[in-house]
Structure 1
């Protein structure tokens, strides 16, 4: 059984190589184009700071003279999704949206633009301190999700342009 699973994995890897698949961060991949090259907007809110922190963890911090600039608009909303028989909300869903545009700073040409959505949740059944910590954690997880999705979309766009 193990041998047949191994053969399937090797055949799948060969098939991907034969179809022109190139890893984004590989030697001929397009992922290196954006590393340390995307200037982010100054964070004006805690959510923006969390988004920028995750973006820079993955793609690095760009200098002021970066070849690309990301314009970003973040939106978050909360929705009560659980309640007790007395009407108290016991669980919230935090919904986030990121609208982004990647621009070439030299030509002001729009290279990529789009929108991404994600959501997380938290419980309010603990103490006030626990509820506030859960809310902060949910917001941080949401910004990580949104930043990862924006980065993935940008990497796919640059891969499509390069190939």
Structure 2
């Protein structure tokens, strides 16, 4: 490593601090403001359950008096992408979208809105049981991706308590 590269590496934290960069989980970061503070809608299907589980793994579970609630619409779509010469579909792409809003429960005001999407796939070449297990696993992976993206968007939005 040349001296110039070391100097750049050592001075880059100073440049970030000068531009107003704050770590998300630092003392003034938005991550700590949202920890255990976002009430999720009750899951009404398997996908929403997986989404909520992942969200709570990362952000904690909020109680009834939480300062924020999450408005959430989840959409999923199956798309056949592989087939045999006989016309049987052998692979599916599962596409998911999450439309969300962070609502201040005290005022009812939406503090942040966003949308994210992701996809995953699964194979249908095994038995019926194996296909169902693959589909369930794909739904769980998709909801994990969407929950992580929603959390990242919320953390990067810079929402702080009012």
TM-score in terms of structure 1 length: 0.89
Q: What root-mean-square deviation, in Å, do the aligned CA atoms of Structure 1 and Structure 2 show?
A: 1.9
Tell me the residue number matched to 1:147: 147
Deviation at 1:152, TM superposition (A): 1.1
* Residues 38 and 66 in structure 2, CA contact (< 8 A), matched pair in contact too: yes
Q: Which runs of 5+ in 1 are unaligned?
A: none
Distance 1:128 1:3, change over 3 A: farther
Tell me the TM-score normalised to structure 2 length. Answer: 0.90
Q: Secondary structure at the match of 1:147?
A: helix
Query: Equivalent residue for 1:29?
Result: 29
Aligned to 1:38: 38
Give secondary structure in 1 for the equivalent of 2:42: coil
Give the deviation of 1:160 after TM superposition: 6.3
**How far did 1:8 drift?**
5.0
Q: Which stretch of structure 1 is more off in the superposition, 7-16 or 65-74? A: 7-16
- Per the alignment, do residues 33 and 161 of structure 1 end up closer, same or farther by CA in structure 2, a change over 3 Å counting? closer
Cα distance, 1:154 vs structure 2: 1.1
Deviates more, 1:52-61 or 1:11-20: 11-20
Counterparts in 2 of 1:160 and 1:104: CA distance versus 1, 3 Å: closer
Q: How does 1:81-100 map to 2 (within 5 A)?
A: 81-100=81-100
Aligned-partner Cα distance in 1 for 2:119–2:134:
14
Aligned residue in 1 for 2:103: 103
Question: Are the structure 2 counterparts of residues 2 and 52 from structure 1 closer, same or farther at C-alpha, using a change threshold of 3 Å?
Answer: farther
Aligned CA distance change for structure 1 residues 141 and 3 (closer, same or farther; 3 Å): farther
Aligned residues: 161
